[in-house]
Structure formats: C-alpha cells, structure tokens
C-alpha cells in the first residue's frame, strides 16, 4: 500500500494542487492511514485530551443535562452522539444513567454516528456492557430523529479551507508540491461558498491575514436540521463567536496541529500521525443552522453550562484531591476547558420553557446557586 504521503503527492501531481480541506481530510480520515483511522488518538498515549479524558464528571454531568432536557421538553428518550471518539463519553453517560436513572436508562435508545471505521471497532469494544442499547449509523442514513443530539469536539475536526487576502484580492491557500516538499500556494477560490460565508458574517479580512473557514460545518448543520423531526442539538467545542475568531490580530488563522500533546504549525510533517484542528466559528454555525430550521436557544461558555447542569456536586462528592482538581479543570480558566469552550444549543419543533436552565446568564445562575447554598 502507498504511504499516505505518497497518496497525497500523487493526488497533487494529478490535479496540480489541492485545497487545504482536501489535504486535512486525507491526513485525518484516509481509511487505514489517517490520524483518526489507525490508532487511539486520545488521552495519555495520543496527541490530545478532550474534556472526556479530563474527568468522568464531564460525562456524568452531560448525562444529567441531556436526560433532564428530554424530560422537560417531552422528547423521546433517544440520544444521538456524533463523533464519539474512543466511546468514553457514551460509556460515562450510559453507565451514569444506568446507575442513577434506571427507568430512563431502560427506555433510552442511543445512536452513534462515527466516520472512522477504526474508532467504531474501539467503541463497540468499550461499550459491550450497553450492547443492544446502541446502534451505529452513517450520517447519510440517519433521519426522522426525535430526541437529544450532541457532539463534543466534532466540528473542530472537520476540514477547513484556508483563505488569505493579498492586496485587494481574496485568495485560497492550496497545497502544492515545491522543491520536493509540500507548501501553500495562493490561487482563486475553489468554490463560491467561501465568498458567501464571508458575506454572511460581513467579514473584511485585512491584508495578509489568513482565515480558516469550515465549509463542512455549514453543510453539516443544514443537513442535520433536515434529519431532525423534533429535538434539541448540543454542540460542544472550542472556538468563539466570529468577531473574535476572525479578529485582525489573529493573522495566521486558527488551524493548528497536535503531536503527543505539543502544539505545532508544521502542517506537512508527520502527516497522518498528528491531529489537525481549527477553532469553531459559533456565529456561522448558529446562522446557517437557523436558516435551515434549527432555532438558536443559547450559546454558553462550557464552564457555565456545566455549572448550570450541576457539576459543583461532583466537586463536593469527589473522594480525592486529584478527582476534585480534574473536575475543576473543566470549569476554571486555568484548566483550559472552561474558557475557550462553548455549548451551542439549537432546537427544532420544540417549545423551550422560560425556566430552561441554559437560558440564564452567568450572574443569574450564580445568584441561584448562592441562594441554594445559603451564602
Ligand atoms: C476530536 S475527536 C472527539 C472525540 C470525542 N467526542 C471526545 O470528545 O473525546 C473527533 C471525532 O469526530 C469524528 N468525526 C469527524 N468527522 C466526522 C464525521 N463527518 N462524521 C462522523 N464522525 C466524525 C472523528 O472520527 C472523532 O471520533
């Protein structure tokens, strides 16, 4: 079998150049060879941690939030997780519900949508205890859904197009072969969808600035809406609203690589052996979704969402200082997961009551908590 590098170079030789999105898609998802297709990329042995690896409190808190949402909004007990990675989040959620809400668990159906054949096998292995409850399906075959749909760090793993302004012109950065190596080369935009994206958020790129645009995200959220009959969508990821993500001080975009827990921007090194990821533009995610029928409910920093979902009781119940510290890592600024991460909630054909906890701002939430705790 050709190495992944050879495959990419031969595609470039055929086409002259490929978009960065095509390169990133192959580097991450080429069957048997891409980063997510051949080894466990998560946790200590991999290249990065997600909130799921930081603490099982994350999954337990989400389990409570999702079950509570299904009950409050009278949705069927059906959860769908897209981009389930090692399967740890599904396992933490299902195990917690089995232990604490057996009636809800008995009713619950759990669907997983996962692109990596390698990770599906790992998920099946890890989730044996919940066999019979879970079904795996391809996104294309998914539809008519009623329930709670969610993802954690899915959208940041979609391939992005790199766009640059040079003088008066907006160009796309393609990947070409030059003097034996891969490098970027600016040329005309590969699709009109790029200009549409820029126009929608009225983005004026400054001269020499690079922005990374996640066109797959826009197609995904529109398709997702058409597959949901009645439900609520939680998208948890790192990123920011557009004005922050595309601010002129971010001259080099946000796409970056992780190799064994160190960040680098050597996109064309260790191809298939390192993660490549970009910040999520929540403004566009919300706006494209809205056009397709997903009504925005709230956009909340992850720390606040977790507090609103009751994570503080996880600290009270922690048995060791280490456990306490790992929960705090999810909500404290220095933990890394609390401040860059947001939870976007969108709904379709549901009535969200005024007392839905995620509609409250930070001050209101903290006031309620301090009254509850008597301080
Ligand atoms: C960064 S990982 C996050 C994994 C897990 N949710 C966690 O938080 O640990 C991204 C996951 O999304 C999956 N993925 C990426 N694009 C996908 C797509 N189009 N359809 C389904 N799964 C996808 C990847 O294979 C991987 O499992």
- pLDDT tens, per residue, the chain with 375 residues: 579 999 999 999 999 999 999 999 999 999 999 999 987 777 666 766 788 888 899 999 999 999 999 999 999 999 999 999 999 999 999 999 999 999 999 999 999 999 999 999 999 999 999 999 999 999 999 999 999 999 999 999 999 999 999 999 999 999 999 999 999 999 999 999 999 999 999 999 999 999 999 999 999 999 999 999 999 999 999 999 999 999 999 999 999 999 988 999 999 999 999 999 999 999 999 999 999 999 999 999 999 999 999 999 988 888 888 888 888 888 876 656 657 899 999 999 999 998 899 987 767 777 776 776 654
Ligand 1 atom showing the smallest separation from residue 151 Cα: 6
Distance (angstroms) between ligand 1 centre and the Cα of 83 equals: 3
Give me the pLDDT at residue 13, please.
96
According to DSSP, the β-strands at 295-301 and 341-348 are antiparallel
Cα 337 to ligand 1 centre (Å):
17
For the entire predicted model, the pTM comes to: 0.94
Q: Ligand 1 centroid to 128 CA: how many Å? A: 20
Return the sign of the alpha-carbon dihedral for residues 304, 308, 314, 315: positive
> What pLDDT score does 333 carry?
67
Ligand 1 neighbourhood includes 113 CB (under 6 angstroms): yes
If one counts every other C-beta atom within 10 angstroms of the C-beta of residue 131, the result is: 8
The pLDDT of residue 329: 83
Q: Output the CA 40–ligand 1 centroid distance in Å.
A: 12
Ligand 1 atom with least separation from CA of 42: 9
User: 346 C-alpha vs ligand 1 centroid, how far in Å?
Assistant: 20
CATH topology of domain 38-158+214-372: Rossmann fold (3.40.50)
Assess whether the C-beta atom of 258 lies below 6 angstroms from ligand 1.
Answer: no
Among residues 267, 256, 234, 172, which one has the least CA distance to residue 358?
Answer: 234
**Protein residue whose Cα sits closest to atom 18 of ligand 1:** 115
Q: Which protein residue has the closest C-alpha to ligand 1 atom 10? A: 154
287 CA distance to ligand 1 middle (Å)? 22
Can you tell me the distance from the alpha carbon of 40 to that of 24, in angstroms, rounded to the nearest whole number? Answer: 18
How far, in Å, are 162, 173, 191, 206, 242 from residue 253 at the CA level?
8, 12, 19, 12, 12
Question: What pLDDT does 375 receive?
Answer: 47
Angle of helix 321-331 relative to helix 56-72, nearest 10 degrees, comes to: 60
For position 335, what pLDDT does the model report? 57
- Tell me, what's the pLDDT at 53? 84
The domain locations on the chain are 38-158+214-372
Best mutation site among 34, 157, 302 for ligand 1, i.e. most ligand atoms within 8 A of its Cβ? 157
Residue 24 in contact with ligand 1 by CB distance below 6 A? no
Determine contact, residues 65/309, Cβ cutoff 8 Å. yes
**Which atom in ligand 1 lies closest to the alpha carbon of residue 275?**
1
CA–centroid distance, 155 to ligand 1, in Å, is 8
Residue nearest to atom 13 of ligand 1 (CA): 83
Other CB atoms within a 10 A radius of the CB of residue 294 amount to: 27
Atom of ligand 1 nearest to the CA of 139: 20
Question: What is the dihedral sign for C-alpha 122, 127, 133, 139?
Answer: negative
Atom 1 (ligand 1): residue with closest C-alpha? Answer: 153
């Amino acid at each position: 079998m050709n190495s992944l590098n050879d495959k990419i170079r031969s595609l470039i030789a055929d086409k002259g150049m490929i978009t960065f999105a095509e390169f990133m898609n192959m580097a991450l998802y080429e069957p048997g060879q891409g980063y997510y297709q051949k080894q466990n990329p998560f946790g200590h042995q991999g290249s990065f941690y997600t909130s799921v690896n930081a603490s099982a409190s994350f999954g337990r808190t989400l389990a409570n939030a999702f079950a509570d949402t299904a009950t409050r909004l009278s949705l069927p007990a059906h959860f769908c997780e897209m981009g389930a990675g090692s399967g740890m989040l599904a396992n933490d959620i299902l195990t917690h519900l089995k232990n604490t809400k057996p009636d809800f668990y008995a009713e619950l159906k759990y669907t997983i949508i996962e692109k990596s054949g390698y990770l599906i096998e790992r998920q099946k292995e890890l989730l044996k205890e919940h066999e019979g409850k879970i079904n795996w399906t391809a996104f294309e075959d998914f539809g008519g859904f009623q329930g709670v749909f969610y993802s954690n760090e899915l959208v940041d793993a979609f391939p992005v197009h790199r766009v640059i302004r040079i003088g008066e012109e907006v160009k796309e950065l393609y990947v070409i072969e030059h003097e034996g190596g891969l490098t970027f080369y600016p040329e005309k935009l590969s699709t009109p969808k790029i200009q549409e994206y820029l126009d929608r958020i009225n983005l004026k790129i400054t001269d020499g600035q690079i922005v990374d645009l996640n066109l797959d995200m826009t197609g995904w959220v529109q398709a997702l809406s058409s597959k949901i009959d009645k439900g609520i969508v939680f998208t948890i990821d790192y990123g920011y609203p557009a004005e922050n993500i595309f601010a002129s001080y971010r001259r080099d975009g946000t796409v970056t690589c992780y190799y064994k827990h160190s960040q680098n921007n050597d996109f064309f090194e260790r191809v298939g052996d390192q993660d490549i990821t970009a910040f999520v533009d929540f403004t566009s995610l919300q706006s494209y979704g809205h056009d397709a029928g997903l009504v925005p409910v709230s956009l909340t920093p992850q720390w606040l969402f977790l507090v609103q979902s009751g994570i503080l009781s996880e600290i009270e119940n922690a048995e060791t200082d280490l456990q306490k510290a790992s929960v705090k890592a999810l909500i404290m600024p220095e933990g890394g997961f609390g401040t860059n991460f947001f939870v976007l909630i969108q709904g379709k054909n549901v009535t969200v009551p005024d007392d839905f906890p995620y509609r409250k701002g930070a001050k209101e939430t903290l006031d309620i908590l301090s009254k509850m705790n008597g301080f």
